[in-house]
A = this chain, B = another copy of it.
Amino acid sequence: QSSVTLFGIADATVQVGRGSVDNNVGLGSGGLSTSRIGFRGVEDLGGGLKAGFWLEAGYTLNNGNGQNSNALAFTRRSTVSLMGDSWGEIRLGRDFTAPYNNLYDAFGDNGVGAILETQDLLGSTSYGLQTRTSNAVSYFTPKTLGGFFGQVQYYRNGRDASPATNRDQYGNGYGVRVGYENGPVSVGVAYGETDFSATVGALTTKVDTKNLNIGGSYDFGVAKLLVSVGQDKGEALGESAKTRLYTVGTTVPVGAGLIRASWTRASEKDSDARADKFALGYVHNLSKRTALYTTFAYLKNKDGSNLALNGSVTGAGDSSKGLDIGLRHAF
């Protein structure tokens, strides 16, 4: 039907991981871009008004599984929108959070070179950067502000409110992002808060998480520079934890290809736990839609941190290495 665009990505990668405790090798999915399939469309309502929808399901190409009980669901994005050329967009449903929209990184969060996400550090999964939220009402500014842009979102889970142990699906909160994008420059700052119930020890308690993000990129032509600084904070039972995330990266176009490199660090504030990752990769574009790619990453843990790459296992304070070799096809 003319009103629907079917789109997606099929991305498979051979993953090699080495750590001080165990190594790993196998086929994985999404080393360059997350494998997905989606349906989207825009209807012109006249007078500068448009309606649109976007339904997107993730899957793992290596085994065909989806994200809910290993089956397909529109948990990457499920939104319906009303858009005005002059006033912007109202978007309802499940989508990225504002802080996640503000990530500036050479590898994004895919593959072995992915930005370090706070929640991995020291096994604390409860307060790191939140990728998505359900039940959101979002407003996006129009593209008519001379390069300035903004987003405000408010999310509130109604019917399934308690128990709400899944921040992503059942949390309540809000997010805001403002930025400027013009020619070679793009900068942004974003902040979000989410309240949800979680099990801390033997208790189910309310957890409050706060994610702050500042980042930007500048395209020098021969290379693009990307820089991000983030802070993630979690509070529960009167205690709190805080982690900082730094990343500096670059992408360098070479003929039909793209060299990518980055350094990313996650460090916990109340301890000396810290992880540094150095990643170097090359994407060879066979066409606009199809690319061969490889990425190598080296990760150095400090103190209690024991992050490991590509399914390997490494001891606290030890290092880990990982390699991706993959094929990404977009449709």
A311 to chain B: closest residue by CB = B159
Contact across chains for B53 and A331 when beta carbons are under 8 A apart? yes
Contact A59 B78 (CB under 8 A): yes
Known A4-B331, A71-B73, A92-B327; contact A290-B63, beta-carbon cutoff 8 A: no
Q: How far is the CA of A3 from the CA of B76 in the complex (A)?
A: 22
Q: Does A108 contact B (CB under 8 A)?
A: no
What chain B residues lie within 8 Å of A8 (beta carbons)? Answer: 4, 39, 53, 55
A68-88 CB contact bits vs B (8 Å, 1 = yes)?
111111111111101000000
Question: Size class of A's contact patch?
Answer: 35 or more
Alpha-carbon separation in the docked complex, A52 to B311 (Å): 28
Q: Is A21 an interface residue (CB 8 A)?
A: no
Query: Would A66 and B61 count as touching, CB distance under 8 A?
Result: no
CB distance from A286 to the nearest CB of B (A): 5
The interface centre, meaning the residue of A27, A77, A155, A286 with most chain B CB atoms within 10 A of its CB, is A27
Does B92 contact A12, Cβ atoms closer than 8 Å?
yes
State whether A66 and B64 are in contact (beta carbons under 8 Å apart), knowing that A41-B331, A51-B287, A73-B59 are contacts in the complex. no
Check if B37 sits within 8 Å of A59, measured CB to CB. Answer: no
Interface residues of A in 8-62 (CB under 8 A from B): 8, 10-12, 14-15, 17, 24-28, 37, 39, 41, 43, 45, 49, 51-53, 55, 57, 59-62
* Contact between chains at B93 and A62 (CB < 8 Å): yes
Chain B residue numbers with a CB within 8 Å of A24 are 158-159, 161
Chain B residues closer than 8 Å to A92, beta-carbon distance = 12, 27, 61-62, 327
